[in-house]
Structures are given as structure tokens and as C-alpha cells.
């Protein structure tokens, strides 16, 4: 069997000899899926801690959850997974799950209700960045033994008050809802960390794949699990290679060195037109591109300055040039397709209006630094902002780094401005409302790094209470209207400029079938792929 290194070496030799792509066309093995993707944002593969896009893709394929999504029918919503059924108490606070019998972890250990309870309690006790997805239901280190209980083959969870059942179940489809093998994890515990260090680079799941290796900023390799209850995946290995440049991904795809290229610019997508053996897969994703302004900064905290910066963004210019067919204009925190989503985009590039707002605030000759990950489209957006901000007398310096470096500073509230992307954690409007417009404790000591409002030092001006009311509203129509109103106030007052929603365009070998990128609601799934 040819290795990937051999294939890449063949491609390089062909280029050196000046051969045509067809003359040296490589081909990945029939039982292997090879993907080029930017994966430098991965910091850990522990599902209780992972909170990045590329990590979510990996974890979705390794771990089962109580409820999950069928990649072949995302419109059906969450479905039974490790829990085959559930019931809800009369007061709506307790959900009791009956576990699917006969399922094993990749270690050979049986999947038990005890493992599910351990996984949820562990997420609360570790209290890592995404823990709020679970703790928002009132689970605390002090009460988890009373609120998350096991009785034989059933698991019951009791929330602090009544929520829509769909909201709770949607949250359990998030990465943090992954069920880990208690026996294996605790066998690798160090200094009371509940296996956190070990799970950074190892896996303990029951999903279609196990983690063979993760080499930071290089690759992730997954191996198909013969014991997966849904049947062994046809792709016995999945290799996700970190390839930063779109042009490089495109070349690798055209030469057959990879099966999927996931970070292609519009120009490289256009360049695939007419290439034999290649097609383009397009999916509207939930990911939003935004910039945010740190409210701990004395000038950025002025309302007029916040609004001025929103008028110094060339939304249409970017969408119609280097972001064409890649991102579409969207200025609201709920992505299209979500309950409560709206299409109002009131901001446009208006230098004179921005200057007037800056003058009203008494601000001139402002110099700011924006943190941006070293990804092509983000750098181009940052350069556009540099140009348009300068037209109003604002100097914008770029601080460029890896995803891990920039996210670290952002989560520590150290950046003047952050330029980045945000993707929903579960398919319910609270997933974004609860991060963009909710911040019950704005103190540094709160360390609420999972909340974007907190990262930007914003106390939300009353939206926290409105978000809290919307999440418990049982009338779906009324709840949607509440999110319309929240977003209207958010657009006017928030230190965020939401700019675009992603349309992922993945270049793909035309013999690849069954690949799901996750739509707007979840992550990529590889186990249905055939070639």
C-alpha cells in the first residue's frame, strides 16, 4: 500500500520534472479518506475541554453521546444514540435515559449508564471552557451526585428548573456531551485530573473511530473501530492533514494526493471547474465571522466608537471579492436556519457616518491592535479593516499567530480587537444568545471564557436577563420573537460586528460519497463515507 508520504513525494517529483497533473495522477487507497484542513486550532482532544472547530470534527467521530445526529438526515434533528429512549417527568425537570444494551467502548468495556453519568459529572467537575453548556442547567460540583443519578441501565438528570426538553437534548449533542469510558479514563488519572492530561492525546470512546495519533499542527489519524455498534466504517483510516494554504490544498486534490480539501478560497474553487475527477461540495454552515471590541479599553467602551467601527467595515466589498461564494453577509448572532434568525443587516460601509460618531465621542488618532489567526481569509479581512479604519484616522495593527496563540489572548481579555469565527455548539438559539449576549458576572474572577460577552468585558446592558427569559419560554413562536428583539438591541449596542455566515465549499474527489460536513448544526462525520 502506498503511504501518503510516498504519494506526496511522487507529486513533488512530477512538479520538478514539469509533468502534467494527469501524467502523475496519484490516488489515495480505496479504504482510506485523506483530508486537507487547517487544524492548528486543536488544543486538546478531551471532550470535556475541547472547544475548537477542528477538535469538534475529530471528537464527533470518536465518541458516542446520549443523543446525536444522523449525518445522512440532519433535518430530522437529534436521534437516539447511546440512549435508546428517554422519558420526562411531569414537572419537566427530570429526563430519564434508558441506555442501549450491548454497546462497547473501543477498549472492550461495556457502555453503561455509569459511564454516561461519570462523563457528565466529569464535565462539571473539571469546569473547563465548554462546561457552561452543562452547568447552565444548574449542575454544580456540590450537587452532581444528587442531580445526575444511575439506576441499573438508566440515567436520570434533574435540572434546576423546567426547560424545553428539546433545549436540554440539543445541548447533549455538543462535544462536551461525549460519553467516555470511565474505567479506562480513571486508570490514566494523574493527580486527580480525572484523565484530563491523558485524554489530550488519547481517546476513550465508543464511536466509529478511535484516535491513532494527533501531531499538533501536522495531522490527526483515526482508525475504524470494528466494535462500533452501527457497523465498522468502510474507511478504515481517516487522515486529516494540516495544510495552511488554499492553493496547496487545491494542488494536492487535483493530483489525487488527498480526497477532500476543506479550506479553499473562492478563486481556488473556481479553478477546480472542469478538472476531471473533482467536484465541489457546498453546505451552509453555522459559523459566523465577526470582530469584537474589548470593553476594558477606555475608547472602545464608548457607545459611539463601537457603532463607528461597525460603519468602517466594507461588508459588500469583501463579500463580492475575496469572500465571494464563501461567506454571505449576515449581521446577527443567530445563523440562518436557526429558530429566531433574522435577515436584517443595517450596517454598511459609511466613512462619513463613522467620522461623525468618532467626533461625537471625542476620539481621534486612535491606535488599536487586532488579534487574528494566520488563516488566509482572516488575514485578508484584517487587511481590509486596516484600510477602511485608516480612512477614519484609526491605525489598526495586526497581531498574527496560530489559533491557539490568539485564542489564548482573547480568552484572557488581552486583545483590543479580535477577528475570528464562532460556530454553534448545539442546534438551539440559546447556543449563540447565551454566548454573545449573556454575561451574569463580568468580573475577571468569573473567568467565564466560554462566553464571548465576558471575553470582551461587556455586561450586556440588560440582555443577560432577556436571554435568561427566552431560554425557558415554552411557546415556540413567542420564543422566536424574543430572539428577534434581543438581536435588534444587540445590533445597536453590542461591541460585536457580526459580518458573515460561512458557506463551506469543499473540493472533493468525485468517487467520495456520503461525506457530511455537519450543516449549520454539528460537525463533520466520516463513518458513512464510501469510495
Higher confidence at residue 339 or residue 354?
354
**111 has a pLDDT exceeding 60:** yes
Beta strands in 256-366 (DSSP E): 260-261, 278-293, 327-329
**61 has a pLDDT exceeding 70:** yes
Q: Tell me the pLDDT of the chain averaged across its residues.
A: 93
Of 207, 177, 202, the residue nearest 187 (C-alpha) = 202
**352 has a pLDDT exceeding 80:** yes
Cell of 53: 472547530
Identify the pLDDT of residue 27: 87
Cell of 334: 443567530
Identify the pLDDT of residue 425: 84
Burial 407-439 (b: 16+ CB within 10 A, else e): beebbebebbbbbbbbbbbbbbbbbbbbbbbbb
**352: buried, middle or exposed (CB in 10 Å: 19+, 13-18, 0-12)?**
exposed
Measured in Å, how far apart are the chain's first and last C-alpha atoms?
16
Identify the pLDDT of residue 426: 85
State which H helix or E strand residue 490 sits in: helix 476-493
Identify the pLDDT of residue 84: 98
As a whole number, mean pLDDT of residues 283-310 equals 97
3-state secondary structure of 484: helix
Of 69, 51, 50, 45, the residue nearest 516 (C-alpha) = 69
**Of 200-214, 465-479, 514-528, minimum mean pLDDT range:** 465-479
**6 has a pLDDT exceeding 50:** no
Quick one: what percent of the chain has pLDDT higher than 70?
95
Residue 278 and residue 254: Cα distance in Å, rounded? 7
Neighbours of 291 (CB within 10 A): 21
Residue 213 and residue 249: Cα distance in Å, rounded? 21
Beta pairing, strands 395-401 & 367-373: parallel
Identify the pLDDT of residue 25: 53
**23 has a pLDDT exceeding 70:** no
3-state secondary structure of 478: helix
Beta strands in 52-93 (DSSP E): 67-69, 78-80, 83-88
**36: buried, middle or exposed (CB in 10 Å: 19+, 13-18, 0-12)?**
buried
State which H helix or E strand residue 116 sits in: helix 113-126
Higher confidence at residue 154 or residue 164?
154
Q: What is the pLDDT of residues 483-523, one digit of tens each?
A: 999 999 999 999 999 999 999 999 999 999 999 999 998 99
- CA gyration radius, the chain: 23
**Of 102-111, 242-251, 371-380, 473-482, minimum mean pLDDT range:** 473-482
In the structure, what pLDDT confidence band is assigned to residue 307 with cuts at 50, 70 and 90? very high
> Residue 455 in contact with residue 203, Cβ under 8 Å?
no
**Of 2-16, 70-84, 214-228, 309-323, minimum mean pLDDT range:** 2-16
Residue 435 and residue 495: Cα distance in Å, rounded? 13
Residue 115 and residue 47: Cα distance in Å, rounded? 14
**How many whole angstroms from its chain centre is CA 142?**
30
**18 has a pLDDT exceeding 90:** no
**3 has a pLDDT exceeding 50:** no
Query: What's the pTM?
Result: 0.78
> Residue 125 in contact with residue 135, Cβ under 8 Å?
no
Q: Which residues contact 521 (CB under 8 A, 6 or more apart)?
A: 69, 74, 286, 337, 424, 426, 427
Amino acid at each position: 500500500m502506498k503511504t501518503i508520504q510516498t504519494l506526496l513525494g511522487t507529486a513533488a517529483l512530477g512538479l520538478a520534472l514539469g509533468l502534467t497533473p494527469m501524467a502523475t495522477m496519484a490516488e489515495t487507497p480505496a479504504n482510506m479518506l485523506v483530508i486537507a484542513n487547517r487544524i492548528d486550532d486543536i488544543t486538546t482532544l478531551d471532550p470535556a475541554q475541547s472547544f475548537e472547530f477542528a477538535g469538534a470534527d475529530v471528537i464527533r467521530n470518536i465518541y458516542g453521546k446520549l443523543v446525536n445526529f444522523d449525518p445522512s438526515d440532519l433535518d430530522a434533528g437529534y436521534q437516539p444514540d447511546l440512549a435508546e429512549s428517554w422519558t420526562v417527568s411531569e414537572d419537566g425537570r427530570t429526563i430519564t435515559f434508558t441506555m442501549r444494551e450491548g454497546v462497547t467502548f473501543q477498549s472492550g468495556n461495556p457502555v453503561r449508564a455509569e459511564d454516561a453519568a461519570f462523563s457528565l459529572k466529569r464535565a462539571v467537575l473539571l469546569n473547563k471552557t465548554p462546561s457552561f453548556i452543562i452547568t447552565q442547567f444548574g449542575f454544580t460540583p456540590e450537587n452532581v451526585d444528587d442531580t445526575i443519578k444511575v439506576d441499573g441501565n438508566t440515567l436520570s438528570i434533574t435540572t434546576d428548573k423546567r426547560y424545553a426538553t428539546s433545549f436540554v437534548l440539543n445541548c447533549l449533542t455538543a462535544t462536551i456531551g461525549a460519553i467516555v469510558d470511565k474505567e479506562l479514563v480513571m486508570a490514566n488519572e494523574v493527580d486527580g485530573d480525572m484523565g484530563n492530561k491523558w485524554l489530550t492525546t488519547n481517546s476513550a470512546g465508543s464511536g466509529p473511530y478511535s484516535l491513532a495519533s494527533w501531531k499538533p499542527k501536522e495531522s490527526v489519524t483515526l482508525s475504524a473501530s470494528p466494535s462500533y455498534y452501527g457497523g465498522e466504517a468502510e474507511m478504515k483510516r481517516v487522515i486529516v492533514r494540516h495544510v495552511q494554504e488554499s492553493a496547496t490544498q487545491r494542488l494536492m486534490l487535483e493530483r489525487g494526493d488527498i480526497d477532500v480539501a476543506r479550506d479553499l478560497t473562492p478563486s481556488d474553487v473556481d479553478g477546480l471547474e472542469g478538472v476531471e475527477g473533482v467536484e465541489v461540495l457546498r453546505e451552509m454552515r453555522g459559523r459566523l465571522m465577526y470582530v469584537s471590541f474589548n470593553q476594558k479599553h477606555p475608547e472602545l467602551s464608548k457607545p459611539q466608537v463601537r457603532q463607528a467601527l461597525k460603519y468602517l467595515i466594507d461588508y459588500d466589498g469583501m463579500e463580492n471579492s475575496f469572500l465571494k461564494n464563501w461567506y454571505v453577509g449576515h449581521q446577527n448572532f443567530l445563523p440562518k436556519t436557526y429558530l429566531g434568525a433574522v435577515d436584517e443587516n443595517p450596517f454598511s460601509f459609511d466613512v462619513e457616518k463613522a467620522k461623525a460618531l468618532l467626533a461625537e465621542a471625542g476620539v481621534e488618532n486612535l491606535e488599536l491592535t487586532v488579534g487574528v489567526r494566520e488563516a488566509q481569509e482572516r488575514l485578508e479581512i484584517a487587511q481590509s479593516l486596516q484600510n477602511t479604519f485608516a480612512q477614519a484616522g484609526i491605525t489598526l495593527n495586526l497581531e498574527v499567530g496560530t489559533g491557539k496563540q490568539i485564542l489564548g489572548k482573547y480568552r484572557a481579555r488581552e486583545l483590543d480587537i479580535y477577528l475570528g469565527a464562532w460556530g454553534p455548539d448545539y442546534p438551539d438559539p440559546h447556543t449563540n444568545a447565551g454566548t454573545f449576549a449573556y454575561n451574569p458576572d463580568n468580573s475577571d474572577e468569573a473567568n467565564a471564557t466560554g462566553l464571548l460577552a465576558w471575553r470582551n468585558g461587556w455586561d450586556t446592558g440588560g440582555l443577560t436577563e432577556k436571554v435568561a427569559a427566552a431560554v425557558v419560554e415554552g411557546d415556540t413562536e413567542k420564543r422566536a420573537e424574543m430572539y428577534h428583539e434581543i438581536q435588534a438591541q444587540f445590533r445597536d449596542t453590542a461591541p460585536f460586528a457580526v459580518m458573515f455566515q460561512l458557506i463551506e465549499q469543499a473540493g472533493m474527489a468525485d468517487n467520495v460519497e456520503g461525506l457530511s460536513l455537519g450543516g449549520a448544526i454539528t460537525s463533520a462525520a466520516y463513518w458513512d463515507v464510501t469510495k
